[in-house]
Every structure is written in C-alpha cells, then in structure tokens.
With several copies, the nearest count.
Chain A
C-alpha cells in the first residue's frame, strides 16, 4: 500500500482525508477549487426519508476558534439525493460515504434501505445531531438505543455502517462498545458539542434554534481525548474529526487512534484545506518519523 493509503471496511482510501458531513454538501461547490478525485473519500450531507427545510435562521454563529451551527438537517430527502446529487460524484475517483439521519428508528431503517439503490461505499449513521427537536441526539446518548438503531440499520444496509458518536455524553466508551456489539463496522467521531451563544442586543440565543453544535479547533482536545479512550476499548476502526485544519492535526488524530480523518469547519475558512492537507501529509509524516499513515495509527498510546 502507498504511504497515504488506508483500507477500511468498504473503503479503499488512497489517503485518509475526507470532508466531514454537512460541511461539503454533495461536493459540487468545492469542485470549483480542486479536483475531488484527490480526496480519500467524501462524507456527504445527511439524508432523511423526506425533504426537510431545517431550522429558521440564523443557523450559524462564530465562537472563539470555533462555530455553532443549527442547520437542522435541511436536505431534499434520500430519493432526491440519490437521483439528483450523488450522480455528480460519480465522475470522481472516490468512495462516497452517505450520512443517514432520522427521527425514528424506522426512518433510519428506511433511509438505509433506499440507499441500497445507490453507488455509495459506506453509511455514516448519524445518531448524534444536536440540532433537531426530535431524533438525532437522543439516539446517541443511550447505549441501548444506540445499539438498537445500529442493528436495524446494519440489517437494512448493503454497505458497511460507521456509527457517528455524540461527544455530549458522560461515557463515550460505553456507547462505542454498545454499537460495536450491535455490529457497527466502524465509528466516526466526534460530532459537535452542544453549545449556545446569546445575542446581547436581542437578549435571546443568537441561533433561532437556541442551542447549536460547536465545531472547529476549539473542540479538538475533546475529540482527541474521546478517540484515545475509545481506541483502547474497541476493535473497529475510527474515522476521527473535530477541529482539524492542517496535517499536524491529522497526525495527532492518527496517533490518538483514528484510521482516517474528516475535516469540517476548516473548509469554510479555507476551501482548499483538504487538498492542502493531502499535499502536506507525506512531509509531516516523515518529519515525525513515520513511513506511512498506517504506521502512525494508534502510536500516541503510551504502550503502543
């Protein structure tokens, strides 16, 4: 395998870098900036069974070294995604990861079933969206519920399922182990931390939804900690994310135990960020004495 290549269930990645779900839509906009074939993969925007318009605006707010978002799963519905959005990505040489969301277990199941008729390589099961009134986050905070959704989606899906964990929990290891036992092929972590900003002039939360999800460099230490802890407790691969904006960040995630790394918020700061990281990564690996990406995975553990 090449220096940057990583092989994960359903995903033969030429490099470990992929845009994170919800930060890259279905790729079209960022394809103006660079050839998407350069990416290891792409995690597309969440799909629900039917079209959703999402929350009222404002939907984003800036915070120090981070941002809050409460998009609320706006999407055209899984069928429209399969018909109108995913075909665009077929021109590029990369495996696509679909992001599955819902308000009920049945909805999750149904979305996964619909996706059998599409060209995706894996599913990211989003049980951790903090920005919708129903569904979303509660599926990710109770280990039994998390396991149940995982089992049902696994049964409905034709591709490997990566479960996206919420960081808003007392014990992330417990949830990770529950979904592993329920058949998850991998984990993606972390989703956003629940946060809020108050508009001093309007005397109310700035986001119309009240709370939102905190992302960006501010949360990186929480992501690293959780990946580090989960890596020691499970045997399925982790795709890490949370505040990544350069190749050194990627190496930190690999050392913590991630096998691949997604980049979210940093795309807004620098639309070339994924491409820049892919260019820099071989040099950063060498600088710190690693021959390859796989060589670095988990090597930050004291007894690694």
Chain B
C-alpha cells in the first residue's frame, strides 16, 4: 500500500449526485490492484476532515494509467471531493483491503449483485471475470431511474438487469425480486451494497457460494485502529473490514 498524491483527470456527474472521477495512477501501482479493493481518500488539505473516505475501485486503465472511482455525494466529505477539478491533486492510500480472490475460483457463470454505491466495484470485477471467460450476469439495484448508472458498461460484460425501488426503471423492487422473477443463478455470486440487501441476498442464495463486500465506518483504513470490525458468525472474533475485507465469503461474518 502506498500514499500517493495523484492528479485528477476528469470529474463527471453520471447520475443523481453520483460522481465519476478519473485519476492518474502509475502502471506500477495499478498492476497491484485486485477487484474489490478500495482507496482511502483524504478530504481537503487542512484539519477540518481528519478521517479519510473509503471508495471502491470501479475500474482502471493500464494504458491510460487511470483509475476510475464512482461515488455518491452523501455528506460533507464526498461533497468536497465532488468539487475537485481536473489537474487538482487528490491524496490516496492505494490499494486497500483484500479484494475478491477470483484466481482460486472455478466457475462457468456467476452473478454480480450490486446495490447503489455497491455497484462500482463489481464493474472491474466483471471485467476480470470476463477475461477468464466466465459468464457474467449483473443485477443492479437503485432507488430510482435518476440514480441508475453504468448500465451499458455492465451490458458489455453480459446480461444486465436493473431494479429500482420505485419502479421508475427496470423491474420494480429489490435485486432479490429480479433474481426470483428471472430465475437467475450462477456457480458463485459476488455482491456489494447496503447491509439489508446483502442479508437478503445471502438468505436467498444460501445454496450458492458467494462473496460479499461490506461497508463500515473507518479510521485508519489499513488495519491499525480496530474501528471497522465485523463479528464472525460464530461470535468468537472480529474481522477488520479494511484489512481482512471488505470482501468476505458468504456466511463468514455477521451482517
């Protein structure tokens, strides 16, 4: 892991309050990144924001030497980040966390199940799975039509289903409704999104091996402060989301 001052290449609002940001990162660093990892971002230069913000890696381009993040403007920190302009610097810890270990899995077809700001990390994962000739089906859930992003990108990876809570786009309801409705399945599933969604997915797909990416409030982002823990399902010990995760096997930790 490194701390780098990187230059912003592009900033674009691609859906409601949803920012796509491209950042210049060297090939050397990009080549270490695994899908599912995240960066830990400093907000502003001074002391007002002492904690970094964790944002998943959505995509990277080795040739252009860029990294893509997609984040939602949620509170003051993401609002500050959204105001950054091309050629300004951004300070990152990169890469953080374990990522999805896809080298070890044997699968013909997998499901990518994302909700809201859980969608971005699945994109780079999907690209990597596609490179391994694994068939990818994506199920993406959003609040409303105004929040939908990256549908076309996911379509280029395989069949893509959209669910919106209010039914203004795609199927009305949750990602689990889509799974039911279209009878979707795979040898594995990979999921990222709000905890209630992860729980529903874990329950629905209890017979399928799966990986879940978790969110927790963080301090250090590197495993040193014990802020971001999650209990193992046996209740006996804690895992750190920033270091042991953010990706865990289904049924490994308490949701």
Contacts and interface: CB of A to CB of B under 8 A. Distances in A.
Direct contact of A and B (CB under 8 A): yes
Given A59-B217, A69-B227, 7 more contacts: A22-B226, A57-B216, A59-B229, A67-B50, A74-B229, A217-B47, A269-B52
Interface stretch (A28-36, A233-241, A286-294): A28-36
Interface size class of B (residues with CB under 8 A): 20 to 34
A151 to B, nearest CB: 30
Interface stretch (B20-28, B137-145, B176-184, B230-238): B230-238
Interface string A226-265: 0000000000000000000100000000000000000001
A25 B221 CA distance: 12
Quick one: which of B50, B93, B217, B237 has the most chain A CB within 10 A?
A: B50
A265 B227 CA distance: 12
A173 interface: no
Contacts of B223: 25, 28-29
Contact of A268 (B46, B50, B230, B231): B50
A39 to B, nearest CB: 14
A71 B49 contact: no
A62 B219 CA distance: 9
Contacts of A45: 226
B224 A24 contact: yes
B220 A245 contact: no
Contacts of B52: 268-269
Nearest to A267: B220
Interface size class of A (residues with CB under 8 A): 35 or more
Given A216-B50, A268-B50, A29 B230 contact: no
Nearest to B217: A58
B3 A270 contact: yes
A24 B230 CA distance: 19
B217 A61 contact: yes
Interface in A20-51: 22-25, 28-30, 32-33, 45
A28 B223 CA distance: 9
A66 interface: yes
Interface of B: 1, 3, 42, 46-52, 77, 93, 216-231, 237-238, 243
Contacts of B216: 57-58
A216 B3 CA distance: 20
A65 B50 contact: yes
A209 to B, nearest CB: 12
B224 A53 contact: no
Contacts of A28: 223
B218 A66 contact: no
28 contacts: A22-B225, A25-B225, A28-B223, A29-B220, A29-B222, A29-B223, A29-B224, A32-B222, A53-B237, A54-B226, A57-B230, A59-B226, A60-B217, A61-B217, A62-B49, A62-B77, A67-B51, A71-B225, A74-B226, A74-B238, A216-B47, A265-B50, A266-B50, A268-B51, A268-B52, A268-B225, A270-B3, A271-B220
A267 B217 contact: no
Contacts of A54: 226, 229, 238
Quick one: which of B48, B219, B221 has the most chain A CB within 10 A?
A: B219
Contacts, number: 103
B238 to A, nearest CB: 6
Contact of B238 (A53, A58, A271): A53
B47 A64 contact: yes
A32 B94 CA distance: 12
A272 interface: yes
A65 B42 CA distance: 13
B64 to A, nearest CB: 27
Nearest 8 CB-CB pairings of A with B? A25-B224, A60-B227, A29-B224, A65-B47, A217-B47, A58-B217, A62-B51, A29-B222
A56 to B, nearest CB: 9
A272 B1 CA distance: 12
Contacts of A62: 49-51, 77
A165 B121 CA distance: 44
A134 to B, nearest CB: 19
Contacts of B227: 57, 59-60, 69, 71
A267 B40 CA distance: 13
B48 A25 contact: no
